[in-house]
Amino acid sequence: MNFFQSQTDYIFFIYGFSFFLLSAAAFFLKKNRNDGIYWEQISYFALTHGLSEWLDMIAFIFGDSIVFNSFRTFLMILSFFFLFEFSFKTLSISKDLKETYKFYILPTALTAIFFVKYDHFAGNAAARYFFAFPSSLFASFILFSFYKKIQGKDKKILLSAALAFFIYSLFSGLVVPKADFFPASVLNYDSFQNIFHIPVQLIRAFLASLSAFILWRLYLSSIENSANSSKREYYGNMLAFEIAAILIFGWIFTDYLGRSAFKNVKEISENTEKAFSGTIRNHMRAAEGASKAIAESPWVKSPDFENKNYINNANSVLDRYCSSFSFSVCYIMDKKGTVRASSDRKNEKTFMNKNYSFRPYFQSAIKGKIGKYFAKGVTSGEKGFYAAAPIKKNGEIAGVAAIKTNISLMNEIFSISENAYLLSPEGIIFSSSDSQSEGSPMWPIRGELISKISESNQFGDLKNEPYLKKEIKDDEIIQVSGKNVLVSRAYLSDFGWSVVILHNLHRVDSVRFYGILFIIVFSLTVLLFFIFLVSEQTAKENAQAMLELSQKVETLEGIIPICANCKKIRDDKGYWNKVESYISKHSKASFSHSLCPDCEKKLYPQFQEENKKYEPKKLI
């Protein structure tokens, strides 16, 4: 597991929070720009999508279910519905698009088909293909179309936003959860991680943060002529600095908590593995020592299998060892592997007269070595550990003393742990806390080797499906069913068998989540405080503008000193101004000059006589 895989939960947090930043930036644009772009839909999209990603974080930490996955998929579809609406509503300014619900019928139907035909993971992948990709691409097109229409420095900002949404459409809509259909089976989260060694969520988080920054610059551009635009730019810079500091501190803090919890979990796992392997080793040593003691017993060595007294004495020794050490069965075989004396000679499924020359423990003992072997009994059908030692007569190997000890004690030990396994050198699960996994390969094994093991009948019926994707090592962190587990593996002896403990790291994940939860509260508090500051500043500017307008109105509505003769008006500085100059200066009114009838008669009487000729005569 690389660094980014170990930090997946925190990456999900950053991913979701970056969309909250985008939502805040779009929120301010909606309040301060009247450019025909429906920024509020971008804000709704980012808000719901950020929440969806945080729910993905919770599923990653605490586990998923069909219901929870379906709800998250619905929330994700809802977020991209808002992104579709952003495009439709913005486009409807220049084109008449009504009944937009028709556009959602096909992608919704296709997503439902994949959900039902495959599973909820396939439904999530289909939702990204049919909602995330087209909606993000459409939004990019809308922003690009406005880029071509406008002039000034906003032009480059809108182009940057269009490019950011275009790149986001590729990473959000084409890199999807792994599913059993093309192209999700080829291009998915796992394949992207394996190729680039970083999760795709980190790329998406960067693109969302970049989009938030771009929209914030667009907002600042729209208020640059206001009196306090520099103050809001200062607020934005401070927010960027504080958020960066919080995220870096949070990452270090969360990682510290995780490492501390991991250290405790590792110590527990190692102690558990040592206890299990130590108990099994003692069990094996007892059987090995007993088989050697039987072989060297005065009543057993120098065997004469045709002598009834020898057989009776050997049976007596076998009975004593079997009852004293609670072995399943103790028995003696001749050179050909046939059982000539056995502690279970009175049982219905007795070993007597059975031939076990094919068993590896016999083959080792007949060559003068101590035989050790785990296998499922061909006679009893019960699993056990076999130990065998050579019996000599006049320095020559004349037989084999063998002991089978039942693994019921091992099963009791394994039941204490949730994920404990006894593995063969090839990786076959012989005994486990999960009985359903017994007989399965722990990791993929070559077909010819599986056939050879199956022919030996050592494990009974083998299963083909491997439990894990690859062979595991001690102290390795792997994923099992989407959860991180710590591997503790100890070899029992030089013959390759090992005890494996897979310790679930949910305690580490929980501790890390508490750290992330603290950072969530802290970062959201800072973001909300920033929104409050900017909104408060905007409200003050609006109030100031209203006050200035009110003062202008009050000046015109108050008592105005005017000359009784020339009608000039005296201003507050003592200067006398013409009426039109004073009113133009203190209001937005402008004047166009003409003559009233009285003045026209006084100044231009000749025109008065001329105009009478064209007046309509009154009817009597």
Closest CA to 133 of 166, 163, 104: 166
What is the chain's mean pLDDT, rounded? 87
For the record, the structure tokens of 581 come out as 């100059």
Name the β-bridge partners of 491.
498
**Each residue's pLDDT tens digit, 456-476:** 889 888 888 898 988 999 999
Give the Cβ contact number of residue 487 at 10 Å.
20
Rounded Cα distance, 257 and 249, in Å: 12
pLDDT band at residue 275 under the 50/70/90 scheme: confident
- Give the integer Cα–Cα distance in Å for 158 and 192: 30
CA 541 to chain centre: 43
Region 327-348: what's the mean pLDDT? 95
Quote the pTM value: 0.75
343/567: higher pLDDT = 343
Q: What is the mean pLDDT of residues 115-129?
A: 91
Q: What is the pLDDT of residue 559?
A: 72
Inter-residue contact 331 to 341 (CB < 8 Å): yes
Rounded-to-integer distance, Cα 217 and Cα 140, Å:
18
**Which residue in this structure is represented by tokens 């403990």?**
501
Residue 211 token pair: 């989009």
3-state helix, strand, coil in the chain (%, to 5): 60, 10, 30
* pLDDT(292) > 70: yes
**Residue 608: predicted pLDDT:** 60
Residue 134 has pLDDT above 80, yes or no: yes
Q: Is the pLDDT of residue 484 over 80?
A: yes
Residue type, 209: S
pLDDT in tens, 424-461: 999 999 988 888 888 999 999 988 888 888 888 898 88
Rg (CA), the chain: 43
pLDDT-based confidence at 566, cuts 50/70/90?
confident
Model confidence at 85: pLDDT above 70:
yes
Identify the pLDDT of residue 619.
Answer: 42
Lowest mean pLDDT among 23-32, 211-220, 522-531, 559-568: 559-568
Helical (H) or strand (E) element with 373: strand 371-376
- Structure-block tokens of residue 513: 């989540």
Give me the pLDDT at residue 607, please.
63
User: Residue 294 half-sphere exposure, CB side, CA atoms within 13 Å?
Assistant: 36
Q: How confident is the model at residue 568 (pLDDT cuts 50, 70, 90)?
A: confident
Q: CA-to-CA distance for 349 and 354, rounded, in angstroms?
A: 10
pLDDT at 552: 58
Cα–Cα–Cα angle for 165, 170, 171, nearest 5°? 95
Contact 579, 589 (CB under 8 A): no
**Which tens digits make up the pLDDT trace of 174-218?**
999 999 999 999 999 999 999 999 999 999 999 999 999 999 888
The pLDDT > 90 percentage for the chain reads 54
Per-residue pLDDT at 368 exceeds 80:
yes
Q: CA-CA distance, 381 to 149, in Å (whole number)? A: 82
- Rounding to the nearest 10 degrees, give the CA dihedral for residues 89, 93, 95, 99: 30
pLDDT at 617 over 70: no
How far is 215 from 236, CA to CA, in rounded Å? Answer: 12
Residues comprising the chain, all counted: 620
Statement: residue 587 has pLDDT above 80:
no
Kindly provide the b/e burial profile for residues 534-554, where b requires at least 16 CB atoms within 10 angstroms of the residue's own CB: beebbeebeeeeeeeeeeeee
Is the predicted pLDDT of residue 24 greater than 50, yes or no? yes
State yes or no: pLDDT of 351 exceeds 90.
yes
CA-closest candidate to residue 233, choices 211, 248, 218: 218
Q: What would the pLDDT profile of 215-247 be if each residue is shown by its tens digit? A: 988 888 877 766 566 777 888 889 889 999 999
Q: Which of 240-249, 501-510, 593-602 has the lowest mean pLDDT?
A: 593-602
Query: Does residue 26 contact residue 42 with C-beta atoms inside 8 Å?
Result: yes
Beta bridge partners of 334: 399
β 371-376/498-504 pair status: unpaired
- Fold for the domain defined by 223-425+506-558: Beta-Lactamase (3.30.450)
Write the DSSP symbol of residue 437. G
Tokens of 63: 């586990």
Residue 356 has pLDDT above 80, yes or no: yes
Tokens of 294: 């039987």
- Per-residue pLDDT tens for 370-411? 999 999 988 888 889 999 999 999 999 999 999 999 876 666
Residue 340 is inside which H or E element, if any? strand 339-342
Phi and psi based region of residue 523 (left: phi greater than 0; alpha: psi -120 to 50; beta: remaining): alpha
CB atoms within 10 A of CB 291: 29
Q: Is 519 left (phi over 0), alpha (psi -120 to 50) or beta?
A: alpha
**117 or 35, which is more confident:** 117
Q: Among 426, 440, 294, 292, which residue's Cα sits nearest to residue 372? A: 292
Q: State the pLDDT confidence band at 333, using cuts at 50, 70 and 90.
A: very high
pLDDT digits (tens, 9 = 90+) for 240-273: 899 999 999 999 999 999 999 999 999 988 888 8
